[in-house]
């Protein structure tokens, strides 16, 4: 099959047709003018070095070369070829727990602040990948759609507090469902979700969603923020100063502990990494290394067919016509002697 990239340029052939007609008219007038110039004997002598046949050949080659130039400009695409499309890069959604348990101070200065610090390092390590933010507690909300604007991502990350969502609880299922919806679009990037929480799943069926995400090719890494011993949840005043610690109905201080089990199971099921983030420095280096490897790695290539441009062949023929036309001589090296100068 044949198709053309710029078919409108075919109208240029109207100009070529006009050139041919004009050349024919001029040739006819020249012949009439030559016949009136002198008799045949004198005319042959005067014009004996001009090779009219080669002049016509040069004109024909010039017109033919121009036609090939137009065909080349039209952009003929003939047949198909197979091309490999290499897929690279990462679409990364961070789902960050903002329930009140993330204010616990078993990790300094608090679980949420430690998480924000480590995630800032993750954003700084990205190289052209897209990143988005989901915040969740009892419900989940999209805080920042996928973007490559890392300055905006850091700004939105730093604005996150446990007061963003009034509905309390820790609904991991809602967060994961919303995160999946952001990355399931058909793009050429790896699809990654980083779930950051203390793992206290108070509602939803998280493992069913994890298996669904895995079947879609989405990898889930989990960051467990907190310690096994746990810590109290401070209650702060309007100035951010601690007033007291959260208590249960019996007046006992509530201690929230890191739930290793559910976060580890999510990561294992999806082929991701589980990282416990406590008070250690460089906590998420394994995750940074994993993302870096994904950025360098190509996903399987898609092979598809497309029309192949063939304009080069016509351009080459046009240049050949012009080159041959340039070197064709129109004057003969032989000159006739005047045979009538001694005759009356």
DSSP H helices in 98-251: 111-125, 150-158, 172-183, 206-215
pLDDT (0 to 100) of residue 39: 61
pLDDT (0 to 100) of residue 168: 79
Question: Above 50 in pLDDT, residue 31?
Answer: yes
Mean pLDDT calculated for residue range 48-59: 72
Strand-pairing partners, residue 197, are: 224
Summarised one tens digit per residue, pLDDT across range 105-143 is: 888 888 999 999 999 999 998 887 889 999 998 899 999
Summarised one tens digit per residue, pLDDT across range 153-194 is: 999 999 999 888 888 778 888 899 999 988 876 566 788 999
Separation between Cα atoms, residue 218 and residue 230, nearest integer Å: 31
SS3 194: strand
Q: Give the least confident one: 159-173, 183-197, 234-248, 293-307.
A: 293-307
Q: Give the least confident one: 85-94, 202-211, 330-339.
A: 330-339
Token pair of 3 as six digits:
């198709």
Mean pLDDT calculated for residue range 44-66: 74
Mean pLDDT calculated for residue range 271-297: 84
Mean pLDDT calculated for residue range 197-225: 84
pLDDT (0 to 100) of residue 245: 76
Task: Answer yes or no: are the C-beta atoms of 114 and 277 closer than 8 Å.
Answer: yes
Distances (CA, A) of 91 to 3, 60, 291: 36, 59, 10
Separation between Cα atoms, residue 258 and residue 197, nearest integer Å: 9
pTM of the model: 0.60
Give the pLDDT band of residue 1 (cuts 50, 70, 90).
Answer: low
pLDDT (0 to 100) of residue 217: 86
- Of 3.40.50.410, 3.40.225.10, 1.10.3720.10, 3.40.50.720, which CATH number belongs to 89-297? 3.40.50.410
Q: Where are the domains of the chain?
A: 2-81+307-327, 89-297
| Strand ranges (E), 159-314 | 190-197, 218-225, 231-232, 234-236, 242-245, 255-256, 274-277, 299-309
pLDDT (0 to 100) of residue 344: 44
Separation between Cα atoms, residue 263 and residue 198, nearest integer Å: 8
Mean pLDDT calculated for residue range 42-48: 61
pLDDT (0 to 100) of residue 154: 95
Separation between Cα atoms, residue 87 and residue 331, nearest integer Å: 63
pLDDT (0 to 100) of residue 186: 57
Separation between Cα atoms, residue 57 and residue 61, nearest integer Å: 6
* Contacts (Cβ under 8 Å, ≥6 apart) of 187: 91
């Amino acid at each position: 099959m044949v198709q053309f990239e710029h078919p409108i340029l075919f109208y240029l052939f109207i100009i070529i047709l006009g050139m041919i007609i004009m050349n024919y008219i001029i040739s006819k007038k020249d012949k009439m003018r030559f016949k009136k110039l002198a008799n045949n004997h004198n005319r042959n002598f005067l014009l004996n070095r001009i090779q009219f046949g080669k002049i016509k050949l040069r004109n024909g080659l010039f017109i033919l070369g121009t036609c090939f130039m137009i065909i080349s400009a039209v952009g003929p695409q003939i047949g198909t070829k197979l091309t490999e499309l290499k897929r690279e890069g990462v679409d990364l959604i961070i789902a960050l727990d903002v329930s009140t348990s993330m204010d616990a101070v078993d990790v300094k200065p608090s679980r949420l602040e430690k998480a924000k610090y480590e995630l800032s390092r993750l954003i700084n390590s990205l190289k052209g990948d897209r990143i988005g933010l989901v915040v969740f507690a009892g419900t989940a909300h999209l805080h920042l759609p996928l973007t490559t604007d890392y300055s905006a991502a850091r700004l939105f990350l730093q604005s996150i507090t446990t007061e963003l969502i009034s509905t309390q609880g820790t609904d991991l299922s809602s967060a994961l469902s919303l995160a999946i919806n952001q990355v399931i679009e058909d793009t050429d990037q790896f699809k990654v979700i980083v779930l950051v929480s203390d793992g206290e799943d108070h509602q939803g069926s998280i493992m069913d969603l994890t298996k669904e995400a895995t079947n879609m090719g989405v990898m889930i890494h989990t960051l467990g923020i907190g310690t096994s011993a746990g810590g109290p949840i401070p209650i702060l005043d309007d100035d951010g100063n601690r007033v007291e610690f959260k208590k249960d109905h019996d007046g006992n201080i509530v201690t929230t502990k890191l739930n290793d089990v559910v976060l580890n199971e999510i990561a294992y099921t999806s082929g991701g990494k589980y990282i416990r983030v406590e008070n250690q420095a460089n906590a998420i280096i394994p995750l940074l290394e994993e993302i870096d490897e994904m950025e360098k790695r190509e996903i399987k290539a898609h092979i598809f067919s497309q029309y192949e441009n063939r304009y080069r062949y016509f351009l080459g023929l046009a240049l050949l016509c012009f080159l041959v036309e340039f070197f064709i001589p129109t004057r003969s090296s032989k000159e006739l002697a005047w045979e009538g100068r001694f005759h009356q």
